[in-house]
Structures are given as structure tokens and as C-alpha cells.
A and B are shown apart, each in its own frame.
Chain A
Amino acid sequence: MQDIIIIGAGVTGCAIARELSRYKLDVLVVDKASDVCEGTSKANSGIVHAGYDAEPGTLKAKLNVRGNAMMEQLSKDLDFSFKRNGSMVLCFDEAGKGTLKRLYDQGIQNGVKDLKIITGDEARAIEKELSDEVTAALLVPTGGIVCPFNLTIALAENACVNGVKFSLATEVTGIEKKGEGFVVKTSKGDFETKLVVNAAGVYAAKFHNMVSSEKINIIPRKGEYCLCDKNVGGLVEHTIFQLPTKYGKGVLVTPTVHGNLLLGPTAVDIDDFEGVNTTQEGLEDLLKRCALSVKQIPSRQIITSFAGLRAHEEKNDFILGEAADVPGFFDAAGIESPGLSCAPAIGEYMAELITKKLPAEKKENFVATRKGVPSMALATPEEKQKLISENPLYANVICRCELVTEGEIVDAIKRPLGATTLDGVKRRTRAGMGRCQAGFCSPKTVEILARELGKDISEICKNDEGSEFLEGYIKD
């Protein structure tokens, strides 16, 4: 019997797991995907919002400001990339200035520091590539950018090191009340548990509605993005938003924490909970919208495009806490933007609620820090030399575009909750994320994965089962 089963190994589930790993509790995280960070957490803007967007008094408002404040220290403790690059919200006409003022007031009420409304010229003085149409902007120095993959992976690894168990490639098929606890039925058998935490992203309503008569409704809201080459990563320094629309924060133009330029997202409500395909219309639309913000969109420098689904809840706020009619069933549902920014705060908030329900002692030996995969690309010459002298594999470059070595890939495979797929290696090391998009390195990475996992290369997948790269031998 588990104390707690968390459904969903995205950033929310992993943040909750990490907070719970401070306590003497048996925690199991299950996810249908073969790796952590395979849903909404892997395909979003990677922004740490300041907290001016959310309506004052909502959970979104409260946890965003808290999450933003926590992120910097957490990035040091858990060794993932985070940068406080600041953001700007652009306004293009007189009518928009009222909205800008409303965001400013809302930000002040929510406790966002150092907000300032500036003129179009002042904005252009800070960001030279902003379009001439910009008439005013909200300057937000506390906004930041984060690596969404490594934030999630770091939380998961740290939880794992502190005793949380993970069962991946495990699809939950049913949840039943049994006595004081629950039976969670999965593709890998039934698990009994005292409490359930529902952090299932776009599927959270499905699991909630299995046990609660107070139904919730979550709509997958698709966002498409284009990612540009690092050679245009410096187009803007701040994250550039436009005034929000009824579908969310509008499109942005932002540097990523790794130095690429990210354009997007669109916002379209869809029916397909797995509909992460990009569309011709979506890609065209986002480029057109982004073109309002800056003088020129470097569309020739696009190296990839992708789509993610936001878990939009009808009532427009997070649902955090015990379901009113199901004692022991905790929701962390409706986690759309600013969910990534809030994740550390959601973890803290949920762990407090859960440990009130199921009191537990704190561990004396909790490990609060984690070291990530070393990066040869970011290392100084001295650090490079040191890594190579300890392990020569750090001198064998596999991904030439992002300068990722065999040493880093082997580390990513061998560490706790290590990579088992090509995408898993990619998210942990950036191998294949560069301008050639894995053309050169994928055969080599597949070979290293097979060697380290004791498999044949034909068994290596891109991500989930069924995504094998190869179909047998020649002359078959």
C-alpha cells in the first residue's frame, strides 16, 4: 500500500513529488509516457511570468508571484537554467493603454515588484528591434525564462534520489475508492494507496470525474511555436508579449534560456487530447502575429516548430486541493499558464495540504540539491579540461551543433531516472536540438543508448513505444 500516488510526471506532478519527498512517506509517481516531462511541460514558452496577468485573489495570482520568487534559488539548488531577462507587454494603440494600466494595477495588487509603464520610444531604446507601431509598454523586470525540460527533470531526479518511486509507461485506466483509500488501476497492474494526487494535465478532468460527482471540464488549448536558430537568439533580450486576448497572453517573441529565439504560441481550443500536431494555418498565423512586435521576423532561421496543449479549465483558475466529495483525492488540475512559473509554489502548496491530511515526519537525510548533466558547451576551457581528464568521453563530440559529448549522453542515461529514449537524451543534454535537428547525431545517440541500456538499436525509440527508428535489417 502506497501512502500517495501522483498521476502525472509533468512539472506539476514532479514538483509535488519533490516537496513530498521531504517527508517519511511512500510516494509513487505514475505516467503513461516513457519519460517524465512528456506532455504540456515539454512544449510551452519556458517563461517564468512575473504575475501581473492573473486576477488578484486567484490561486494563479498568488502562486505565480511566489513561484517566480522561488525559481532563482531553486535553479541553483537543482542546477537547471534560469535567467531573469525581464519582460515587456506591448501596446499598439490608444485603446490598449487602458489595458496596460489595468495590468500594471493588477501587478501591483498581486505584489509584482518594479513594474513601469514606458512610452514606445523608451521601449525601443531598450529593445532596438521592436516595431515602430509600439506606442507604449509595460516593463516587467522580474519576468524570467527557464528550461522547462530540465526544471521538470531536476525536480523528478531530486524526488527520486529522496525516495520517490516512478513508474513510467504506466497508463492509469481507472480509480476506485476502497475503504479509506483507493485502488489505482493501470496498464501495469493495480496499486493501492491512501491518497491520490491528480496532476494529469489535459487528462486531469478524466481522472477527477472518475471519482467525483462534482465534474470539472478541461479543454486542450493548442499552442503552436516556431523555434529559431541561435544566430538570431539575440534579436530581443526581454520576453516580448502583446496585450492579452481572451485566449491568454497572446503571442510572444523571446530568447530561450539556451539562446534560441522562440515565436508563438497560437491559442486554439481543440477536442483531441493528443493533438500536438502543428498546422499550416497555425504556423502562418503565429508568424503574422509575432511580426507586429518586432521589425522583422527571422522566418528563414526557423529550425523547428512544435505544438503543446494547455490544460484550460472552464473557470479559468487552478483547481488545487482535496475534492469536496472524495476525501483523500487531491487535484492539481487546470494547470495552464502560468503553471510552469507556479510549479515550485504549487508543489509547496499541495504538500502542505497533503501532509495536513496525512501527517508525516520530515526526513533527516533529505538531499536538497542536485547536480545536472555537465555541459561542455557552457564549460570554461579549464572546466572542459577537468571533465575530460576525469572521463575522456567528454572529449568525444556527438552533437556538433550544440556541442554535446558522449560523456554527457552517457551521464544522462545513467543518472537516476535516466534517459531511455532519443527524446529523453535530447531534453537532458540538448543533443539534437541544434540547427541540423539531429541529422548527424541521431544514429550515434541511438547507438550509445543501445550500448548503455543493453539493447539492440532497433529497440531504441524516439519517445513512447511504437516510435522505434528502424525496421529490421537490410535484405530482410
Chain B
Amino acid sequence: MDKDLVIIGGGPAGLAAAVAAKEAGVNDLLILERDNKLGGILNQCIHNGFGLHTFKEELTGPEYAARFIVRAKELEIPYKLETMVVDISADGDAKIVTYMNREEGLVVVRAKAVILCMGCRERSRGALNIPGYRPAGIYTAGTAQRYVNIEGRMPGKEVVILGSGDIGLIMARRMTFEGAKVKLVAELMPYSGGLKRNIAQCLNDFDIPLLLSHTVVDIKGKERVEAVVIAEVDEKSKPIPGTEQEIKCDTLLLSCGLIPENELSNALGVEMNRVTNGPLVNESLETSVPGVFACGNVLHVHDLVDYVSEEATQAGKKAAEYLGKSEAVNAGGDKKIVIKAVDGVRYTVPSIIRLDHMEDRQVVRFRVGAVYKKVAIQVLAGDKEIMNLKKQALAPGEMEQVILRKSVLESIPDLSEVTVRVKTD
């Protein structure tokens, strides 16, 4: 089978990318989704708070997804469900995508362009290397969320949560609503990895204590979790002897970070960013393999789905440009500007800008590595300051962005490097 564009993943990123590509004139496209419905992880995010930026209203996860699903259906975008992409490789300019499903068996598609929208997974107990027994009752927050919101089942009644990522915070409230006792949330870092609003609405409102600089050092119970031992950690994240306390519980939820799922990107040999664990991309969200784009949580972990949709829309448009379906902004030329992340800025997406492909406004997203108060985000073009944004507070849990203007970058001769940094003085 031949296709102009294959979109791997039918979650928020894949849907927005597909809609944008179709609207830009790409008709020969296909979404491949491994689950039994479109919408991805939003389907189990039944809490509200989605869409404030995109639709200026508060939606639940399924409602937010539905907006895009409806649009995809209006545009008659073809999709396949319960379909797993098992391999992707390059053959000249073509991308060979192999997928599998019950109806068709193993199918090979030759695609001119591909958008990677595979999302991310949660860091497991094993990856955290938490010592102790290996009983039932240890779940990542997302797995527990699925049991509660999709299956209508309770994973346990007395809960300790390790990690203050957003899904963990949401699940603290959700489990409380359903009658469980959430005893505490322990966070290894001296700050939370989640959004401020989630700490307020999911923990503070329910008197659930958040213990910063704490971790789980032992898990007890041979068949089912019976207790966990938590301890305070020092500045090197090492448990401090003597601070251990045993907390009786039947469930340990883990919300300790998300990891982009780039197995297919790696199979294709896409260059990766060691900080984000996602592909390195240019202004078009195109990876090091021409015609292969990435967006959403497979590229870097987002805090809000609204930004995923915005980013994916850009990827869809740019994929359409690549396919020659719409006028490239400024074809020809290959002048590259590298964006460097320094002084507290951990990474940027994109990390390369080709001026000739750049639109008038380029969103550059990033996260910081620590909590800052009363600082500025400074952008330097070469050594010239082109932006200085005062910030009351910055935190690793919240994604930040700056918008670069093409006219500004063009006005600086021989520009090869833009630097984004936290200015603390």
C-alpha cells in the first residue's frame, strides 16, 4: 500500500496533526491507533481542566478528545483501530511502515511522510529500583486511573503515592472521591513535578499531605502490599538514615515521570535528544530523517494537552508542506540556527531553526530544571539580547515558551546560535 502520510498514534497529537494535514490538503493519509478507540490517554482522564487555551472552556479529557475526533470524522480522515505499528524503516525517501491488526494481518505501507505521535509511558517501579517485595498493589498512577475510570474498579483502599506528577495528583483526588484513603504523597525532589493548580485542587483541598524530599525505601507484603517505608532524602536524593517511617497501606501508586515511547523512532534511526528522550527536531518539528515529523508527548512530555494540540497542528501543516500540498513558507536555502538551552533551561523544542522554513512567529517550548522565583527568561541571538521576559516563578512541572520572530532573527547578520537561559540576577 502507498500513502502520502501515515500518522502513528490516534491520541491528541495524532488527531490534531491529522486534522491540520488534511485541512492543508493532504488527502491520502491514515491514522494508525493501537487502542480500540481514538483519543489516547484522554479517554481515561475524566476530570476537567482541558481546553482552557484551545477552546476557552473547561472540558473533560473525553470531551476534549471528542472535539478532534468529530473534526477528523467530518474531514473523513481514515483511521485504523487496534492496529499496532511493529516496524518502521527508510527506503530512499520512502518510509516503510509495517502494521498489524486482526482484519488485515501484517501490512506494509510505503509512506512519503510520517508523523510520530506515540505518546509516552510512565516510569515503573523497576526503573526507580525501589527495594522490597514485589506484591500486587503497586501500580503506576495511569494504570490505576484506567482501572478506576474505564473498568470502574478500585485498585485498593489505603493508598500511598510516590511522585507528585500530575497523574498522581489527579489520582489522589480521584481515589479519595471513590472512598479510598490517600495517606500521603511523597516526592523525591524538594519541589513538585506537577502543576500548581493540581496541588491546590487535588491535595490541599482534601488535606492530603505532600512530603517533599521524601521517597519510598521499602515495600512490605508478600502477596499484597501491606505497608511502605518512606524516608527523607538529602540534597543528593539519598535516604537519610533514621528518618524512616512505616505507612500501612494496600496500594502504592507511582507518578514519577513520563518517558516518551520512541521505540519506533529508534528503529528508524532518528537522532534523539538525551534530555527529553524524544527526537531532535527543527522548526517544522521534523526529525533528522527528512519527512518524519514528531509531536506531542513522544517529542517531549507536555503539561497541558492544549499545547500538544497546538504543536501537533504545526507538525501536520509542516508535513503537508513537505508533501508539496501547500506553499512552503520560503522554500530553498538551508541556513541553520541552533538553539542552545543553558543556565537552568534543560532543553528546547525545536532545537534547530532553518530561517528559510521559519514562519513569522516560532514557538519555542522548554522546561527549567529547578524552582526559580523572580527571574527572567533571556533569549540571546549570538550575544545580543533579543528578549527578556520577567517571571514571578518558574518550576520544572510547568512547560514554558518563548516566541521568536523571524524578522528579528533575520535582522542579525550571520546568526548561527540562539541561546535561551534563566537570568537570575
Seen from chain A, the residues whose Cβ lies within 8 Å of a Cβ on chain B are 226-227, 231, 274, 276-280, 282-283, 302-306, 381, 384-385, 388-389, 392-393, 395-397, 400-401, 403, 435-440, 442-443, 457-458, 461-476
Establish whether residues B129 and A226, one from each chain, have CB atoms under 8 Å apart when the complex forms. yes
Establish whether residues A473 and B154, one from each chain, have CB atoms under 8 Å apart when the complex forms. yes
Establish whether residues A440 and B100, one from each chain, have CB atoms under 8 Å apart when the complex forms. no
Establish whether residues B154 and A476, one from each chain, have CB atoms under 8 Å apart when the complex forms. yes
Considering the chains assembled together, what is the distance between the CA atoms of A353 and B147 in angstroms? Answer: 52
Establish whether residues B122 and A458, one from each chain, have CB atoms under 8 Å apart when the complex forms. no
Considering the chains assembled together, what is the distance between the CA atoms of A69 and B266 in angstroms? Answer: 39
Tell whether A476 pairs with B129 under 8 Å between CB atoms, given A304-B124, A443-B143, A471-B154: no
Measured between beta carbons, the chain B residues less than 8 angstroms from A463 are 223
Measured between beta carbons, the chain A residues less than 8 angstroms from B140 are 439
Establish whether residues B126 and A464, one from each chain, have CB atoms under 8 Å apart when the complex forms. no
Tell whether A443 pairs with B179 under 8 Å between CB atoms, given A384-B106, A392-B102, A397-B84: no
Establish whether residues A397 and B34, one from each chain, have CB atoms under 8 Å apart when the complex forms. yes
Measured between beta carbons, the chain A residues less than 8 angstroms from B103 are 392
Measured between beta carbons, the chain A residues less than 8 angstroms from B239 are 280
Interface residue B338 (Cβ < 8 Å from any Cβ of A): no
Closest to B158 in A: A471
User: What sequence of 0s and 1s flags, for each residue 195-228 of chain B, a beta carbon within 8 Å of any chain A beta carbon?
Assistant: 0000000000000000000000111101110000
A203 to chain B minimum Cβ distance, whole angstroms, is 15
| CB under 8 Å from chain A, chain B span 144-190 | 146-148, 150-157, 178-179
A277: which of B98, B102, B132, B153 is its contact (CB, 8 Å)? B132
Interface residue B131 (Cβ < 8 Å from any Cβ of A): yes
B410 to chain A minimum Cβ distance, whole angstroms, is 41
| CB under 8 Å from chain A, chain B span 113-138 | 121-122, 124-127, 129, 131-137
User: What sequence of 0s and 1s flags, for each residue 66-108 of chain B, a beta carbon within 8 Å of any chain A beta carbon?
Assistant: 0000000000000000101010000000000010111111100
Establish whether residues B82 and A471, one from each chain, have CB atoms under 8 Å apart when the complex forms. no
Considering the chains assembled together, what is the distance between the CA atoms of A155 and B48 in angstroms? Answer: 53
Considering the chains assembled together, what is the distance between the CA atoms of A278 and B216 in angstroms? Answer: 13
A253 to chain B minimum Cβ distance, whole angstroms, is 17
26 contacts between A and B (CB under 8 A): A231-B266, A276-B222, A280-B217, A302-B129, A303-B126, A303-B127, A385-B105, A388-B102, A388-B105, A392-B105, A395-B101, A395-B106, A397-B86, A397-B100, A400-B261, A403-B86, A437-B125, A440-B143, A443-B151, A457-B153, A458-B153, A465-B223, A467-B223, A467-B224, A468-B136, A472-B154
Considering the chains assembled together, what is the distance between the CA atoms of A278 and B130 in angstroms? Answer: 8
Establish whether residues A457 and B143, one from each chain, have CB atoms under 8 Å apart when the complex forms. no
Considering the chains assembled together, what is the distance between the CA atoms of A463 and B135 in angstroms? Answer: 9
A464 to chain B minimum Cβ distance, whole angstroms, is 6
Considering the chains assembled together, what is the distance between the CA atoms of A389 and B103 in angstroms? Answer: 10
A474: which of B121, B133, B153, B217 is its contact (CB, 8 Å)? B153
Establish whether residues B131 and A278, one from each chain, have CB atoms under 8 Å apart when the complex forms. yes
B154: which of A403, A462, A466, A470 is its contact (CB, 8 Å)? A470
Tell whether A436 pairs with B124 under 8 Å between CB atoms, given A467-B136, A472-B153: yes
Tell whether A443 pairs with B84 under 8 Å between CB atoms, given A384-B100, A475-B178: no
Considering the chains assembled together, what is the distance between the CA atoms of A389 and B106 in angstroms? Answer: 10
Considering the chains assembled together, what is the distance between the CA atoms of A392 and B83 in angstroms? Answer: 12
Establish whether residues B178 and A462, one from each chain, have CB atoms under 8 Å apart when the complex forms. no
Contacts A280-B217, A385-B106 supplied; 7 other A-B pairs, CB < 8 Å: A302-B127, A397-B84, A403-B86, A457-B151, A458-B153, A466-B224, A474-B154
What are the nearest 7 A-B pairs in CB distance? Answer: A304-B126, A466-B223, A437-B124, A392-B102, A397-B84, A462-B136, A467-B223
Q: Which of B148, B223, B239 has the most CB of A within 10 A?
A: B223
Measured between beta carbons, the chain B residues less than 8 angstroms from A276 are 133-134, 222
Measured between beta carbons, the chain B residues less than 8 angstroms from A464 are 223
B216 to chain A minimum Cβ distance, whole angstroms, is 11
How many B residues have CB within 8 A of the partner chain? 54
Considering the chains assembled together, what is the distance between the CA atoms of A253 and B169 in angstroms? Answer: 39
Establish whether residues B132 and A278, one from each chain, have CB atoms under 8 Å apart when the complex forms. yes
B266 to chain A minimum Cβ distance, whole angstroms, is 8
B236 to chain A minimum Cβ distance, whole angstroms, is 13
Establish whether residues B124 and A303, one from each chain, have CB atoms under 8 Å apart when the complex forms. yes
Establish whether residues B121 and A436, one from each chain, have CB atoms under 8 Å apart when the complex forms. yes
Interface residue B250 (Cβ < 8 Å from any Cβ of A): yes
Tell whether A471 pairs with B156 under 8 Å between CB atoms, given A277-B132, A388-B106, A396-B82: yes
Closest to B142 in A: A439
User: What sequence of 0s and 1s flags, for each residue 321-340 of chain B, a beta carbon within 8 Å of any chain A beta carbon?
Assistant: 00000000000000000000
B289 to chain A minimum Cβ distance, whole angstroms, is 19
A193 to chain B minimum Cβ distance, whole angstroms, is 30
A400: which of B34, B105, B122, B129 is its contact (CB, 8 Å)? B34
Closest to B100 in A: A395
Establish whether residues B153 and A396, one from each chain, have CB atoms under 8 Å apart when the complex forms. no
Considering the chains assembled together, what is the distance between the CA atoms of A475 and B154 in angstroms? Answer: 9
Measured between beta carbons, the chain B residues less than 8 angstroms from A468 are 136, 224
Measured between beta carbons, the chain B residues less than 8 angstroms from A385 are 105-106
Establish whether residues B106 and A381, one from each chain, have CB atoms under 8 Å apart when the complex forms. yes
B131: which of A231, A280, A435 is its contact (CB, 8 Å)? A280
Establish whether residues A439 and B151, one from each chain, have CB atoms under 8 Å apart when the complex forms. no
Closest to B82 in A: A396
Considering the chains assembled together, what is the distance between the CA atoms of A461 and B155 in angstroms? Answer: 12
Q: Which of A274, A400, A457 has the most CB of B within 10 A?
A: A400
Considering the chains assembled together, what is the distance between the CA atoms of A389 and B127 in angstroms? Answer: 37
Measured between beta carbons, the chain B residues less than 8 angstroms from A438 are 124
Considering the chains assembled together, what is the distance between the CA atoms of A251 and B347 in angstroms? Answer: 38
